[in-house]
A = this chain, B = another copy of it.
Amino acid sequence: MVEATRSPDVAILPRSAPYLEEAVEAGGGRVVDVSEASGLIWTRPSAVEELEHTLETHSRIGWVQLPSAGVEDQLPLIRSRRDLVFTNTKITYAPPVAEMALGLLIALFRDIDRYARETTWTKQSGRMLTGSEITIVGGGGIARALADLLAPFGCRITVVRRHDRPFAGAERVLTPAHLHEALRDADAVVLALPLLDDTTGILGADELAALPEGAFVVNVARGAHIDTGALLDSLRSGHLGGAGLDVTDPEPLPDGHPLWETPGVIITPHSANFAALSVPLLSAVITENVGRWAGDREMRAIVDPDLGY
């Protein structure tokens, strides 16, 4: 019964909200009890066991819309349930995250973070983001959105991703095997990639040393992409010029952690994206995917179980 599986009947769990119901209805869907649903909007990233149980006990569900872009916690479940379509929010998370990445870049280049802490008129300092060399590690939606925001700055952009196919707006595309080459001339490196086994600790002591003196690091991906100890060493030695960290390892960063007091470090509390910011964007993807699900068309932002994002 294909029609039954791909009905517009969608459940919202563990906790619904009026804006989510409106988004489902705007896509031509009906919000129903989970026992009748063929699609599921899952609203809590951390509740993986609860999600697994829900899917086991409701076999009619064929599609799960997850509420985050990073799905490392849900990946074992996604890989064990290849009979289902999992979609995430990788396409909705890009605009707010890219905006924050650019904000951290300008703050670092122009010393806005330092000035924000001053209570006296200090010396002019900073340098231009315009015309600088920026390396973006990651070639997904956030890299795409960031490259678009950077376009008017006339930066030389290098993208590091698995495939070295051209990337609009980037002068160079390099594979991870050439990461050091991508870092060598970078005024700043931005991490915008999923957390996988082979991307954990992708910026370690060697990679930080490969960056030129005074370079900046921005991380809007996951804290574990960077070796925190090596980052602190590089900042303290004066090799790195600064770091803008929306994510940390550990996270939340505990009070008294040395990163809080290291000059040149801006920490934003995983606020590059959060629910209130992305409600309009999340609503838009739900509306679109409900329509595609009911219409038996290809879904947007499908998680590839093998790639893990």
Contacts and interface: CB of A to CB of B under 8 A. Distances in A.
Contacts of A96: 128, 130
A119 B268 CA distance: 11
Nearest to A251: B121
B126 A277 contact: yes
Interface stretch (A76-84, A101-109, A202-210): A101-109
A288 interface: no
A270 B60 CA distance: 63
Interface of A: 95-96, 99-100, 102-104, 106-107, 109-130, 148-149, 151-153, 251-255, 260-261, 266-271, 274, 276-277
A173 B118 CA distance: 37
Contacts of A127: 276-277
A269 to B, nearest CB: 5
B99 A106 contact: yes
A127 B130 CA distance: 25
A99 B154 CA distance: 12
A124 B251 CA distance: 14
A117 B117 contact: yes
Contacts of A125: 271
B120 A255 contact: yes
Contact of A269 (B103, B124, B267): B124
A4 to B, nearest CB: 39
B110 A100 contact: yes
Given A122-B269, A267-B118, A103 B99 contact: no
